[in-house]
């Protein structure tokens, strides 16, 4: 996952805030492409990918939790200690 030092901590954002950032960056990406600025396109693409990856990983975690619930598995969280 791409992380820029000036970028906020994406993991702390709400899902609607992430969606808003994705829409905003998508618009900016279109503008950067029309301007013909490859460096700006690359930076915006990386930032956009970071937000999309966070959203994707959240959804995968939700699907995994739902799958475990449907199978009747108890939620052990971080309590499993394998030695």
- Of 28 and 9, the one with more pLDDT: 28
Average pLDDT over residues 40-65: 93
CA angle 28, 43, 37 (to 5 degrees): 65
- Helix (H) / strand (E) containing 57: helix 38-70
Domain borders along the chain are: 13-67
Residue 68's pLDDT is 82
Residue 72 confidence (pLDDT) above 90: no
How far is C-alpha 33 from the geometric centre of its chain's CA atoms?
23
How far is C-alpha 30 from the geometric centre of its chain's CA atoms?
20
């Amino acid at each position: 996952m791409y992380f820029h030092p000036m970028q906020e901590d994406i993991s702390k954002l709400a899902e609607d805030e992430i969606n808003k950032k994705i829409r905003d960056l998508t618009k900016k990406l279109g503008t950067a492409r029309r301007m013909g600025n490859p460096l700006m396109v690359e930076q915006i693409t990386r930032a956009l990918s970071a937000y999309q990856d966070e959203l994707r990983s959240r959804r995968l975690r939700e699907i995994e939790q739902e799958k475990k619930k449907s199978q009747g598995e108890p939620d052990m969280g971080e309590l499993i200690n394998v030695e």
